[in-house]
Amino acid sequence: MKRRFSLDRFLIQRVGISLITLVAALTVLPIIGVFGYIIAKGAPAISWEFLTAMPRDGMRAGGILPAIIGTFYLTLGTAVFSVPLGIAAAIYLSEYAQENRLTRLIRIAIINLAGIPSVVYGLFGLGLFVLFLKFGTSILSASLTLSIMTLPVIISAAEEALRAVPQSFRTVSISLGGTRWQTIRKIVLPQALPGIITGVILGLERAAGETAPILFTGAAFFLPRLPVSPLDATMALPYHLFVISTQVPGMPIQVQYGTALVLIGFVLGMNLIATVIRSRARAKRQW
Amino acid sequence: MPMNKIIIEHLNLQYTDGTESLRDINLDIPANAVTVLFGPAGGGKSSLLRCLNRLNDLTEVKVASGKILLDGENILDPKTDVIALRRRVGMVFARPVVLPMSIRQNLTYGLELTNEKRKSKLDEAVERGLQLAALWDEVKDRLDDPAIALSGGQQQRLCLARVLANQPEVILLDEPTSGLDPISTAKVEAALQGLKKEYTLILVPHSVQQAARTADFAAFFLQGELVEAAEGKELFTHPKQKRTEDYVEGRFG
Amino acid sequence: MGKSKNWRETLITAVVRTCGYSAVVFVLLIFFFLLREGVPALAEVKLGDLLSARWYPIESHFGILPLLTGSLIVTVGAMLIAIPFGIGTAVFLSEIAPRWMREILKPLVELLGGLPSVVLGFLGILVLSPFLRVFLNLPTGLTALAGALLLGGIAVPTTVSIAEDALDAVPQSYREGALALGATRWQTIWRVTLPAARSGVLTALMLGIGRTIGETMAVMMVTGNAPVLAIKLTSIFSPVRTMTATIAAEMGEVANGSTHYHVLFLIGLVLFLISLAVNIAASSVVFKSRKRAERVLS
């Protein structure tokens, strides 16, 4: 009687653990498969020409330089607006705000901004920046839209980095006659900077890969020249991939995979930089 | 009788939820001497210390009523320039907190807060602070090393030097040797004895023995009340209150 | 000198405080704009027509029901995948896998989360839907199923990441206590550790749902773009259209200020309110559990 009971329990455990391991494998293996597949099929398309030349033959040949430059401009534009604002908001939450209802409201707002569907951001950007403020379909409109979308990511990461700095540093600074801003400027912010930079890069990485917010606010497909001002529309890698894989007849498969590879290379490259910054900062920390 | 540097009149402290921390404290702190505030934990000594440089503004301890006069001026007045006050009244904390910078930068931090940029002034402050804290000989060749590389005892003396580089008038010390070994403790106590010629020192000791060793004047706090205050030797050998005597003799604590 | 420093300090405090409030300002701004451009639709289209099952804007049919069901079926399908795979993988990483494996696999899963959804949609078109078409013998692979699979894949990294953190945060003493009482590791996981991490896991699921509802590009590329009512069980094998895909696909061709334009904004407003509801629910779960913990510990 006793033996059968314990056999049951351990049999269940063995089956269960095998099942869970299978589930995990089924989750992880496709991930490796996805990356491997794109790298394998896209690598043949990558050449110096592909990365630096303008497209020809209705985007079917030549290079994707304008899309790469466009994504770079959009990422830069997003950074210009969202980084200072996001860091300042994080400084407020971490160093100035008291835990009251107003602060909770801000936190709820941040969570909500993070959850709004990306296409709704596109609509908002269209309504406010393109039409109401008359910026038109432009790098400016798209960057502003992407900035608001990236803001919650930067605020969260920056606040966490600021809070990680030991409170004792602040107390010492104040006791030596420092004001709150001096303390932030001379101690807290420099110490939190690696964490903030990591968060910023991860936020910008997401902005670089987004399509829906730029669909009606700044992205274009057939542009004869590179953009010259923030009020120009631009090509962009995610949008380019979308169009060539769904709307262009006769698009060589290799070009499609090559474009996908460049896009994930861009995104993963940023990820790698962020990870390196994070681990080097951790090693050099003086507390 | 030396002049009184700080006079505390009818001070009442409260936590933000209303519970009392200190009740009706009246205490004179003489200049150029070591005044020791001692007693069992929870007596309100640290809270009192933090009022003296208005660091209680950052905590949950609020002044309900009373005055604290520094050279005759009430520092609890809302119009007080707390920045200037904290430069005049420096503090050394229980755990050594070195800033994440080099030894030199730790020492010049206070002066940099006032926008002092002249190298000569900064170097002078560095050496003065380290000499007074008896740390100069040990670190003079590695001033640009990170401060975190120092031992615990050295770090605490660095914190003392950091306060001294700011040229204060009063130095508050909240259990400054609580984490230190006996040799480092002795070095710190010796430094304090040297300092009292120029500065007013107020010390919360971490043991009755340290209190007895270092005090010129002593005040015994118990559960938010100032029980007794007198000259050091008097208080420890002939205390007037039974509670003081019991604590000094180690019957409770 | 003291006076000027005071002035600077006040100015900086004001600037920082304004930036702090900016998040609230933006949420209100977005809500306001969606309202401004979406509410006219309620005046221009009869409510009955809006709630009908025919979405054919060219002939002024604006029934959003097919879009709602499209979003629903794809989201439900995605969650049916994301919940077992997400929690299962999280349990594996936190409770079963050795440390070194966790150090490699967790970043790998997070890497998938960083992949732009347009890339997944791209693979969906070229790889997944032909596979489904052949494997399941369907007329086309661009179906709700393809969308659900892709969305499941997109929701899983978020779910795994947060759920795994929640499980990791459960104190080791809980597990040790259960094992000391004679439970197997398996029983400990399901009866002690997982329930203890309940609020974190729920949050993970809700955030996964949030990501799923809001996903645009991947669904647009693989679900086939057929705005038909998807209420039968077999609908998962047919093309559908989600709310998000509708907006993305049609906004570019719509005349500014037209009824179609307003209806698309109205759909956007609906999406905004749904995500608002999910987020408030998720944050109240966290808030309630924190209050409970405070009561227990005090």
The minimum CA-CA distance between C153 and chain A, rounded to whole Å, is 8
* pLDDT at residue A7, rounded to an integer: 65
Q: Which residues contact B14 (CB under 8 A, 6 or more apart)?
A: B20, B21, B61, B62, B63, B64
Q: What is the DSSP string of B66-118?
A: EEEEETTEETTSTTS-HHHHHHHEEEE-SS----SSBHHHHHHHHHHTTT---
Which residue in chain B has the smallest CA separation from C3?
A: B81
Question: Is the pLDDT assigned to residue A162 strictly greater than 90?
Answer: yes
Query: What's the pLDDT at C34?
Result: 93
Across the interface, of A166, A177, A285, the residue whose CB is closest to B83 is A177
Report CB contact under 8 Å: C271, A85.
no
- The shortest C-alpha distance from C172 to chain B (Å) reads 30
Residues of chain A with C-beta less than 8 angstroms from the C-beta of C93: 24
- Whether C244 contacts chain A with CB within 8 A: yes
Ramachandran category for residue B91: left, alpha or beta (phi over 0 → left; psi -120 to 50 → alpha): beta
C5–B83: do the CB atoms touch at under 8 Å?
yes
A&B contacts, CB < 8 Å: 62
In the predicted model, is pLDDT for residue A4 greater than 70? no
Q: What is the pTM of this model?
A: 0.89
State the smallest CA–CA distance between residue B80 and chain C in angstroms.
12
**pLDDT digits 0-9 by tens, C120-160:** 999 999 988 888 888 888 888 888 888 999 999 888 988 89
Nearest CA in chain B to C5: B114
| Beta-strand pair B200-204/B170-174 | parallel
Q: Which residues of B touch A178 (CB under 8 A)?
A: 83, 113
Give the span between the Cα atoms of A260 and A40, in whole angstroms. 11
Residue C178 C-alpha, separation from nearest chain A C-alpha, in angstroms: 15
Judged by DSSP in three states, C199 sits in: helix
Residue C24 sits at the chain A interface (C-beta within 8 Å)? yes
Look at C93 and A256 and tell me if their CB atoms are within 8 Å.
no
User: Shortest CA distance to A76 belongs to which of A3, A127, A168, A139?
Assistant: A139
- Mean residue pLDDT of chain C comes to 86
Given this model, what pLDDT does residue C297 score?
A: 45
What is the DSSP annotation of chain A? -HHHHHHHHHHHHHHHHHHHHHHHHHHHHHHHHHHHHHHHHHGGG--HHHHHSPEETTTTEE--HHHHHHHHHHHHHHHHHHHHHHHHHHHIIIII--SSHHHHHHHHHHHHHHHS-HHHHHHHHIIIIIIIS---SSHHHHHHHHHHHHHHHHHHHHHHHHHHS-HHHHHHHHHTT--HHHHIIIIIHHHHHHHHHHHHHHHHHHHHH--HHHHTTTB-S--SS---STTS-B--HHHHHHHHHHT-TT--HHHHHHHHHHHHHHHHHHHHHHHHHHHHHHHH---
| Residue C291 pLDDT > 70 | no
Cβ within 8 Å of B, C 5-44: 5
Mutate to test the interface with C, among A2, A14, A20 (most CBs of C within 10 A): A20
pLDDT, position C215: 87
Strands (E), chain C: 55-56, 61-62
What would the pLDDT profile of A133-145 be if each residue is shown by its tens digit? Answer: 999 899 999 999 9
Torsion of CA A46, A51, A53, A59, to 10 degrees: 70
For every one of its 253 residues, what pLDDT tens digit does chain B have, with 9 covering 90 and above?
458 889 999 999 988 888 888 999 999 999 999 999 999 887 789 899 999 999 988 888 888 899 999 998 999 998 999 999 999 999 999 999 999 999 999 999 999 999 988 999 999 999 999 999 989 999 989 999 999 999 989 999 999 999 999 999 999 999 999 888 999 999 999 999 999 889 999 999 988 899 999 999 999 998 888 999 999 888 888 889 888 888 888 888 7
Residues of C with Cβ-Cβ distance to B83 under 8 angstroms: 2, 5
Q: What is the pLDDT of residue C269?
A: 94
Per-residue confidence band for C298, with pLDDT thresholds at 50, 70 and 90: very low
Q: Is B252 helix (H, G, I), strand (E, B) or coil?
A: coil
Test C91 with A20 for CB contact under 8 angstroms.
yes
- Of C227 and C298, the one with more pLDDT: C227
pLDDT at C202: 86
Query: Which residues from C are below 8 Å from A207, CB to CB?
Result: none
Chains that touch B (3 or more CB pairs under 8 A): A, C
Query: What is the model's pLDDT at position A140?
Result: 95
Burial status of residue C275 (CB atoms within 10 A of its CB: 0-12, 13-18, 19 or more): buried
